Structure 1
Amino acid sequence: MTQNSVLSALSAAGVSVWLDDLSRDRLISGNLQRLIDTRSVVGVTTNPSIFQHAISHSDAYTQQLAALAASGADADSAIRTIVTDDVRTACDVLRPQWAASDGVDGRVSIEVDPRLAYDTEATVNQALELWKIVDRPNLFIKIPATRAGLSAITGTVGQGISVNVTLIFSAERHRQVMDAYLTGLEAAHQAGRDLSEIHSVASLFVSRVDTEVDQRLEAIGTDTATALRGQAAIANARLAYAAYQEVFEGGTRYAALSNVGGRVQRPLWASTGVKNPAYPDTQYVTELVAPHTVSTIPEHTLESLADHGVIVGDAITGTVEQARTVLDEVGAAGVDLADVFAVLERDGVARFADSWHQLLDAYSTSAKTVEGAAGRGAPDR
């Protein structure tokens, strides 16, 4: 099979292409392998919403759900088993990409229970548990970038576990995430761990920023405000990349860790699917091309890129002042960006928690069905 030229150009420009989806159907059908072979995919990200959709829209899980229900497994342990089984299999599929990239790519991410987003200790404990259950070196544990999550990032990295930090919405929080990662590396080094085996990405959500900001700009309604629609997300991400360069390409703190094997924490662009049909359907990928980045891409956007995407090289370096101007103008128009980021973080955690609850409810319903069928089939006494 041959790789698509557009996705190959994206990879050549320094962007790792990761699929923002996982399901058992993809694994069984060979779809994931096809995307690796033809769309330059070298990683996979998951979240509770992705698994909720996968499990509720596929018969591939029916047999395992029934077996778990028949065994008396509670909802939390059953869903954990199903999810970790899929992630483990995907890790095995991507193992060659992990080996070929010295551990940088070939990664599969699994998220801690989103209900723990505000509990540091419980997050670290579950990160350790998931790391042991999946038992694959190319795993990423996803931890949300809440304030409690920052300490959990440090604690998890300090244990030698690779982390994908999720639900980052602002460049300011991104800086706090990088600091938490470096503190974790320092703790790992003091504990005698091999820093070269610890990897991390910082996932900055993109399209959701425009969705929230655009809504507020439209509510303001002035010509100046409406003219700014569709610009905030890309500007915000570009400032986050500039912060990455400052910390990892010019910072003395990281330089000291690099000398003992420490790896950079790459920026990852999440939520790259375009929500507003008025915008180009590939803009959150093509406008955020830069070396040492990751773009997590839903399959429909991946196919749009393959069909008509245009990659012209680094689209971020040299744009910092322009990006700052955009966000300054958005603020001057009346949008409270600090509130935007707080709302997005809160809503992001709530969405994932809601999806997790739906997963648990679906399993509980399945378990009751199995119990009912067993009862009907039981002999008369």
Structure 2
Amino acid sequence: MSGPLHSLSEAGVSVWLDDLSRSRLDSGSLAAMLSSHSIAGVTTNPTIFAQAISQDPAYEPRLAEAVATAGAEADPEELIDLLTVADVQDACDALRGVYERTEGIDGRVSLEVSPVLAHDGEGTIEAAKRLAAAVGRENVMIKIPATEAGLYAIPRVLEAGISVNVTLVFSLDQYRKVVEAYLTGLERAREHGADLSSIASVASVFVSRVDAEIDRRLDALGTEEAAALRGGAGLANCRLTHRVQSQVFDSERFRVLAAAGARIQRLLWASTGVKDPAYPDTMYVSGLVTPGTVNTMPEKTMEAFADHGEVPADTMPGAYAAADAHFDALAGLGIDYAEVMDRLQTEGLEKFSASWTELVDVVASRRADAV
């Protein structure tokens, strides 16, 4: 097979689909994309499931079954778990061949803990263990946000042998804390005699939202100097994150873990759908080609890249200095990097929480109809 998406895979970039629904599973769409688009994984989030369950008629009989199973008085969140766990189970089964062929590197499907738990460390640990057990598939990844509570929970979830997708990572400081949580979790797992080779993790660094927020601030300045910096922060931030990764995993601490079978925590580029129509619709894919990374795309971005995407040589060598210079220039205009990134994480949590509330309301209403 040939084409841009296959070329991405050949360049060492794993292509994951940022979407899942019952109709996609039942129709065979996901299975078809495994070969047509070299899909090697699937990511989900509360917004994806809120849209799917509220709009996809394939969930109507599933919800009726869930109500029959859990009871007419079942909490809507319990019903949501039944629906989403079933979807993730089927997606894991569809990707089982990829998981085995890549020896567990790919073939992963992510399921996120409720955003209501974003500031509840113990609740996150409990939910992660419950969801992993409910899915019951080796290739599931439990998604946990990089909040203070999430960073507390991540080592304990990894310690239990559960693979983790750390989401809503924006700043370099957040990313360093994510790596620390990952290494601590592996060390604890090793102390318990766990097979480290069975534990995988990705750090999901959001891209387009960074440009959306910084571009808004640049536009407010209204100068030529500000305009010249538009559309560069998202890629620059990812490139600096890649530099940090190359440093922290080139350490004696990780080499000891690697000798026991541990894998590097891969960088996953998330939020890769371009929000500004003035930019190329594939810029967050072509601009982040480097081996050993994951690019998770919504279907629209994936189709665009399959149609006209370009796969350059490794985009990281020599890019770090320019990325540093970009943020220096932003700082010179009064744009505070740390404040922007903290704001973005807070807004990301708020958006997922709003989606979750919408989903709970929809399921509660349809539960009443089913009863």
Q: Which residue of 1 aligns with 2:121?
A: 120
Kept in 2, the 8 Å contact 1:17–1:294? The answer is: yes
Residue in structure 1 matched with residue 3 of structure 2 by the alignment: 5
Matched residue SS, 2:153: helix
Shift of residue 312, structure 1, vs aligned partner: 1.4
Q: Which residue of 2 aligns with 1:171?
A: 172
> Following the alignment from structure 1 to structure 2, what is the Cα–Cα distance between the partners of residues 106 and 318?
31
User: Do 2:66 and 2:83's aligned partners in 1 also have CA atoms closer than 8 Å?
Assistant: no
1:135-214 equivalences in 2 (<5 Å): 135-214=136-215
SS at 1:18 equivalent:
strand
Taking the TM superposition and a 5 Å limit, the aligned residue runs for 1:230-241 are 230-241=231-242
Inter-partner Cα distance in structure 1 for 2:18 and 2:62? 24
1:42 aligns with 2:57: no
Give CA-to-partner distance per residue, 1:184-221, whole Å, 9 cap, x none. 00000011111111100000000000000000111111
SS at match of 2:312: coil
Amino acid aligned to 2:23: D
Does the CA contact (< 8 Å) of 1:272 and 1:284 recur in 2?
Answer: yes
Q: Is the 8 A contact 1:220 1:334 kept in 2?
A: no
Which has the greater radius of gyration?
Answer: 1
Report what 1:61 is aligned to: 59
State the match for 1:19 in structure 2. Answer: 17
Percent identity between the two aligned chains:
49
TM-score between both structures, scaled by the size of structure 1? 0.95
Q: Report matched runs for 1:206-355 at 5 Å.
A: 206-248=207-249, 250-355=250-355
**SS, match of residue 106 in structure 2:** coil
Letter in structure 1 aligned against 2:134: I
CA contact (8 A) 1:4 1:306 kept: no
Return the offset for 1:67: 3.2
- 1:315-355 CA deviation, whole Å, 9 max, x = no partner? 11221111011011111112111111111101111111111
Contact 1:52 1:359 survives alignment (8 Å): yes
Contact 1:272 1:285 in 2 (8 A): yes
Equivalent residue number for residue 109 of structure 2: 108
Report how far residue 4 of structure 1 moved.
4.2
Task: Please list every run of 5 or more consecutive structure 2 residues that lacks an aligned counterpart in the other structure.
Answer: none
**Residue 198 of structure 1 contacts residue 262 of structure 1 at CA under 8 Å; is this kept in 2?**
yes
Q: Report the equivalent of 1:376.
A: none
Give the Cα separation in 2 of the matches to 1:69 and 1:13: 46
Contact 1:4 1:38 in 2 (8 A): no
- Residue type of the partner of 1:39? H
Q: C-alpha separation between the residues in 2 aligned to 1:206 and 1:197?
A: 29
- 8 A contact 2:239–2:319 mirrored in 1: yes
TM-score by length of 2: 0.98
Residue identity in the other structure for 1:148 = A
Q: Which amino acid aligns with 2:34?
A: I
Deviations 1:277-329 (A, max 9, x none): 00010000100010110000111111111111110121112211110110111
Instruction: Please say if residues 95 and 108 of structure 2, whose CA atoms lie closer than 8 Å, have aligned partners that are also in contact.
Output: yes
Q: Which residue identity lines up with residue 162 of structure 1 in the other structure?
A: S
Question: What letter corresponds to residue 57 of structure 2 in structure 1?
Answer: D
Q: Which amino acid aligns with 2:50?
A: Q
Tell me which residue corresponds to 2:96: 95
* Aligned Cα root-mean-square deviation (Å): 1.0
Give the deviation of 1:149 after TM superposition.
0.9
Displacement of 1:368: 2.0
C-alpha separation in 2, matches of 1:184 and 1:318: 32
Moved more, 65-74 or 26-35: 65-74
What one-letter code is carried by the residue in structure 2 that aligns with 1:263?
Answer: R
Deviation digits for residues 248-300 of structure 1, max 9, x if unmatched? Answer: 2x211111100111111000000000000000100001000101100001111
Residues 110, 142 of structure 1: 8 Å contact kept: yes
Alignment partners' CA distance in 1, 2:40 and 2:66: 32
Q: How far did residue 171 of structure 1 move? A: 1.7
Mapped to 2, the partners of 1:159 and 1:67 lie a distance apart of 31
Q: SS where residue 266 of structure 2 aligns?
A: strand
The C-alpha deviation readout for 1:134-164, integer Å capped at 9, x for no partner, is 0000000000001111111111111111000
Which residue identity does 2:125 align to in structure 1?
V
Q: Partner amino acid for 1:150?
A: L
Structure 1 gap segments, 5+ residues each: 372-381
- 1:8-39 per-residue CA deviation (whole Å, 9 max, x = no partner) reads 11111110000000001110111111111111
Q: How many residues align?
A: 368
Aligned 8 A contact 1:4 1:39 in 2? no
